[in-house]
Structure 1
Amino acid sequence: MSDNQPGGKPAEEPESSVPDDIWEQFTRDTERDIKASAPKEPSARARAVSERLRRQEARGELPEGWRTGPAWQEMNGRATRRRRLWAVVGVPLAIAVALVAVRPSLIPGDPFGAARSDGDSAADTTPLPEETAAPSAPPTEVDPNTPTLARPFAGSPAERYADGAAGIVPPPAKAVGAFSKAQVERVLRQTRQFLVDANLDPATLRGARPTAALKVLDPKQKDLLVLLNSSLRRPDAKHDPLWMFSRFNPAELRPAGDVIKTRGRMTFEADEGSSVVVHTDYTFVYPLVRAQGNTTEVTRTIVRRVIDIELYDPVKFDVTPGKISILKYNTQMGNTACDVYDGYLHPQFDSDAALTEATPTGPTVDPYDRSGDVDDEACATVTRS
């Protein structure tokens, strides 16, 4: 089509009614908005969240229509109105949001909280105070982060638990009945060391014989020692070393880092018959990766142990001075295979969730819930790991 008017005279261009400086500003804003709206590669956290949502969808844990959202017709109408509003306030608002994201302190009062300064998660990682009584409820849900080698306890209440043996703190000793303060202090110290040797010692965790833990037990407690020795030599359903010791097969698993998280408490009181009973209730959280291959997928196994240890008066009872006796014990294990009695814990990874060899038949439990009694159901369904 010709740009000339009939008769050969060129057409005159209409004079613009928009001032030059306004037009230049509009051009710069448009170019900037186009660049800002260009597709960007999602962050690692976004990819992790997407993967977790994909797994939840595959397991049927998400409500129908979560991906599609409202009907597209309704969304289209909303989008049109949003585009009109964006043309007026979008650019200044984007600048303000960016400034606040970089420097939250620009808003008076720091409404986002100083605890969220880690840049990766809004989770509170402040260590919990020492547990002095049974909790009244399970811990609340925490941030949805997937555990990694850098943060193996991400997404777990255990991120705020104490590290290893630092979480096993005996109470102050005092004289009880026929026992002096020094005697009570000794049994408390022995109890703590037994828990460390049975649940935190690297050799014990690799499946070695827990010699140090066994050595502190009274040799005159023959029935228990026969049971434990049999379970370590030939484990089966009636002789399971996991009732007392935490063990993993080093050919299958290795620790994800060098930290095990611990939470619990220890108390003592006089018992009938001139003895002292030390009551212990501790949860141990083990982060793990597969031993084979260059894998980065992390899972966790949670073990809660409630053990009562009794100190008898050797003047009145046939016991070995300087040794301790186990009065009773209960164990609850979270995220380990059902009906496998080879003496090792076998956690499940998200990537092989569909390959579970046995379907849980017991009740659903929260392995982090320390508010009630131990449920030693061997095949419970855990709500989280």
Structure 2
Amino acid sequence: MSLVSDNKPGGNGDSSFSDDVWEQFARDTERDIRNSAPKEPSARARMVTERLRQQDERGDRPESWRVGPSVHETKRRSARRRRLWAVIGVPLAVVVAVVAMKPSLLPGDPFGTSSDDAPAASRLPDETAPPTAAPSASSGTPTLDRPFAGSPAERWADGADGIVVPRATAVGPLTEAQVATALRRTKTLLVEANLDRATLRGERPEAAIATLDPKQPKMLDDVNGWLRSPGKGHDPLALFTRFDPEEIRLVGDVVKTRGRITFKAGERASVVIHADYSFVYPVTRADNNSTEVTRTIVRRVLDLEVSDPTKYRVTPGKLSVRRYDRDLANSACDVHDGFLHPRFDSADPGGPDPSGPTVDPYDRSRGIQHSEPGACGTLSRT
């Protein structure tokens, strides 16, 4: 079919083109029209198209054949995203709400909400030699939440962690293992006599007594007498820390400790162990409604000995007590009932006015000082 008119350009039927040129123009025009006209796909093309459509519906068409995700794949991805947000979004929303109400649950202080009066206190290194001066002053008032505020002990170790046993070596006829046993028993005595909760409540300190040598003349008799009938000159506070549970309640679970243990060869085929430790006890009144906190500081110096059992009549591994001394700070000095009696700022101190020298109970650079009989010393801080 030709869409070319039989009339040739040129007005009155006259042609300005030759017949050959006109025929070539007609052929070219007819070819271009055929090429641009829509063509019906071949039978093979129709088969391939139908097969791909069916594979899309089944979801098994190779991914590489698609330019983008199929409708089914898009739906599956959307469903997965909704499920993921359901699992993560709800708990995340709960966490955000809780933190908004209580930012202190976050570690550190990301919002800068910490109070300036509660700085974090880094622990002091263990004491390995006698201090040369008293610790510097600290600011703060003890509370139920911060019972060591305002005390150098805030940077001391907690409880038994502060009682560090040195590495054992052989001493004289005693082997390294024997010395190690003696050092471990020394720590046990300190812990059970000054940190054990039952002992602090005034109960009998059986575990502490078990470290002592029953063959040491009079020692166990004296200890049993102190516990059975406390009094002036025979007070169990000489070796054990005790509070009357009807009067005093410990604040929190921590007693602060600081000191050192050393050892050397003794004169009786023995090892002599020297222990010098301070213990700081935060307390309040036994009344559960009490919020006032004070502290009692107890310093103990012990010289203990373990002799060669092949040369002396001793119990292997048990401790003989050669010296026991103590300094009790912030406790009524005129009461001898076997308990410590801390004083509180809000209470009438009663008893005699302080008449002894002023001492710093945290000053471990000095030796234990004893006041004159009947005198009550003055504390520079507690």
1:384 and 2:346 equivalent? no
Match of 2:274 among 272, 279, 284: 279
Aligned position for 1:126: 122
Q: Tell me the secondary structure at the aligned position of residue 351 of structure 1.
A: coil
Give the one of 353, 357, 363 matched to 2:357.
Answer: 363
1:22 corresponding residue in structure 2 = none
Deviation at 1:120, TM superposition (A): 3.2
**Structure 2 CA distance for aligned equivalents of residues 117 and 335 of structure 1:** 35
Q: In the alignment, is the contact (CA less than 8 A) between 1:199 and 1:245 conserved in 2?
A: yes
The answer to whether 1:161 aligns with 2:179 is no
Shift of 1:123: 5.5
Supply the AA of the counterpart residue of 1:196.
V
2:372 is aligned with 1:375: no
- How many pairs were matched up? 268
**Residue 21 of structure 1 corresponds to which residue in structure 2?**
none
C-alpha separation in 1, matches of 2:322 and 2:330: 27
Is 1:338 matched up with 2:333? yes
Distance 1:195 1:380 in 2: 26
Could you list the per-position Cα deviations for residues 133-190 of structure 1 after superposition, in whole angstroms to 9, with x for gaps in the alignment? 00000011112x1100110000000000000000000101111111111111000000
Question: What letter matches 2:343 in structure 1?
Answer: Q
SS in 1 for 2:218: helix
Q: Is the aligned partner of 1:173 residue 2:168?
A: yes
Which sections of structure 2, spanning at least 5 residues, go unmatched? 1-111
Residue among 139, 142, 146 paired with 2:138: 142
Contact 2:334 2:351 in 1 (8 A): no
In the TM superposition, what is the alpha-carbon distance from 1:362 to its structure 2 partner?
A: 2.2
Letter in 2 for 1:360: P
Alignment equivalent of 2:255, drawn from 260, 285, 292 = 260
- CA gap of 1:376–1:199, structure 2 versus 1, over 3 A, is farther
- Judge conservation of contact 2:257–2:279 (CA < 8 Å) in 1: yes
Counterparts of 1:267 and 1:247, CA distance in 2: 26
- State the percentage of identical aligned residues: 57
Alignment pair present for 1:183 and 2:178: yes
Q: SS of 1:306's equivalent?
A: strand
Q: Deviations over 1:101-146 (max 9, x none)?
A: xxxxxxxxxxxxxxx9952327561100010000000011112x11
Query: Could you report, residue by residue, the CA deviation over 1:32-91 in whole angstroms, capped at 9, with x for unpaired residues?
Result: xxxxxxxxxxxxxxxxxxxxxxxxxxxxxxxxxxxxxxxxxxxxxxxxxxxxxxxxxxxx
Unaligned runs of 5+ in 1: 1-115
TM-score of the aligned structures, taking structure 1 as reference length: 0.67
For 1:275 and 1:147, the matched residues in 2 are separated by 44
Question: What residue is the counterpart of 1:197 in the other structure?
Answer: 192
What amino acid is the match of 1:192? K
1:200–1:260 CA contact under 8 A, matched in 2? yes
CA-based RMSD:
1.6
Report the CA distance shift for 1:117/1:304 in structure 2 as closer, same or farther (over 3 A): farther
**Other-structure match for 1:228:** 223
Aligned ranges 1:90-101 → 2 under 5 Å: none
**What per-residue deviation string (whole Å, max 9, x for no partner) do you get for residues 319-341 of structure 1?**
11121111101100100002100
Secondary structure of the 1:333 match is strand
Distance in 2 separating the partners of 1:371 and 1:125: 22
